[in-house]
A and B are shown apart, each in its own frame.
Chain A
Amino acid sequence: MVSGPSDGKKIPVPIKLLIAGGFGVGKTTMVGAVSEIRPLRTEETLTDRSIGVDDLSGVESKSTTTVAMDFGRISIGDDFVLYLFGTPGQERFWFVWDELARGALGAVVLADTRRLADCFPSVDYFERRGTPFIVAVNCFDGAPQYQLDEVKLALNLGGDIPVLLCDARRRDSGKEVLIALVQHAYGRRPMAKV
């Protein structure tokens, strides 16, 4: 247990949510729509140690990769603070996902019906890792409208994974998506299954 700040106010417990999906699907847009702060960008520098090579010959031989992530914040009273991270879109950055996904309460996989296959890697990743996730279809103007059942079928999703429509630009829509995610994660708790 840590001591609180000098003014006696308690420090909230941080909780992580992920917004995943293909490049250009609206991840940062959704983060910005619901965040109480302007979305920020952080860079995670990964050394070769992070990708499994253990080279003891010295720092001069270390290769590094920098990955940028956009994120936002939603304060939940004084007790909790949610951080929403847009996952890096490119597959070659998957080793960052493991760090990001560790401890995450759940993930939103954003989908675009014009490029539905772009979200397959995210769906596969969270299924494999066992991270609770839902799929939100971002309704782009002019994109073909499908029934949610059709999207579910095309993504070969298990019956209990919620799929919903959203408009990533709108705060109330993003809020509904996050509520659906937290409700789903709540139902997926190991104790809830007993």
Chain B
Amino acid sequence: MNSDDALYDEQVVRPYVMTRGRTEARAKLDLITLAVTVRAATGVEVGLDPEHLAIVRLCRRPLSVAEIAAHLDLPAGTVRVLLGDLLHGGYIALQEPQPEADMLDERMYRAVLDGLRAL
């Protein structure tokens, strides 16, 4: 465990400080909603914190809210707020899960079954 982890464990920097007190005002993202970087951040952008930049770096390949939270050791709720900022700034694109209504899609089941059999 590095010293950064220790800081979070001690709750010296509380997650809502990172989000400047904002909670999840935006539509709540599912834990499996995928984020992918569509515009690189150089680090001098106004309004982006180290956590924002870490997400932009991580999401060069699509990652779920849950994976981002696990990699950055942040609560999922905090990651949702940060993703909202990044979406607003045009840095990331999101892919929502298959809606329950679309679970009827036969092609989806076929693809998943074929994929699992090929494992």
**Across-interface contacts of B98 in A (CB, < 8 A):** 13-15, 103, 105
Encode B6-41 as 1/0 by CB contact (under 8 A) with A.
000000000110000101000000111110111100
User: Which of the candidate stretches A107-115, A153-161, A181-189 sits at the interface with the other chain?
Assistant: A181-189
Contact A103 B93 (CB under 8 A): no
In this assembly, does A81 line the interface, its C-beta being within 8 Å of a C-beta of chain B? yes
Contact B38 A13 (CB under 8 A): no
Bound CA span A63–B87, Å: 29
> How many A residues are at the interface, by size bracket?
35 or more
Q: Across the interface, name the chain A residue whose C-beta is closest to B30.
A: A103
Q: A44-B31, A103-B100 are in contact. Are A12 and B111 (CB under 8 A)?
A: no
**Residues of A with Cβ closer than 8 Å to B?**
2-6, 11-16, 34, 40-45, 47, 59, 66, 69, 71, 73-77, 79-83, 85, 99-100, 102-103, 105, 171, 175, 178-179, 182-183, 185-186, 189-191
| The residue from A77, A85, A105, A185 contacting B31, defined by CB atoms under 8 A apart | A85
Contact B103 A2 (CB under 8 A): no
Contact A14 B34 (CB under 8 A): yes
